[in-house]
Amino acid sequence: MKVSIKKLTEDHLDAIIALTKILNSALDTSILLERQKQMFQLDHYHCFGFYDGEKLVGLSSGWVTIRLYSGKQLELDNVIIHPSERSKGYGKVFLRLLEDWAMEHGCQTVELNTYVGNSRSHKFYFNEGYTILGFHFQKHLTPAPSTRSV
């Protein structure tokens, strides 16, 4: 296993979307593509490819932020190992490389969300020393109806 992480760019969009679609199968590919392009425009966004030799076997988005409760952190998002490559030890190595990157960039913590129904990932992250800090809440926003009189 000759593994490494590499920063991915917009030049890698096809590979990024192919892997991202695995975790987000309900979203249309065009939506994923547009959102990925928007993320690349943000200064604190990073996209990490996980390679075994020249083969891309996984990826993760990452956001460097500062939180009152944790200090400077790398917040991981959409951590994915291709299904055909799972159970080979890649997840542990990928996570360790991401944690090393975070420390090299002055981060004090790594944080992530995982879907409630993804119990396999819960077990994995517990085994890697991650703990649950709270609940992640979401509300979809819809524009308020116009109150303007005609």
Domain ranges, ordered by start, for the chain: 3-127
CB 64 within 8 A of CB 87: no
Cα(100)–Cα(62) distance, rounded to whole angstroms? Answer: 13
Tell me the sheet residues that pair with 66.
72
Other residues' Cβ atoms within 10 Å of the Cβ of residue 20? 23
Per-residue pLDDT of the chain (150 residues; tens, 9 = 90+): 799 999 999 999 999 999 999 989 999 999 999 999 999 999 999 999 999 999 999 999 999 999 999 999 999 999 999 999 999 999 999 999 999 999 999 999 999 999 899 899 999 999 999 999 998 899 999 988 876 665
CB-CB contact of 21 with 15 (8 Å): no
Query: Measured between alpha carbons, how far apart are the two ends of the chain, in Å?
Result: 68
Hey, what CATH class is 3-127 in? alpha beta
Q: Which residue has the tokens 């991981």?
A: 76
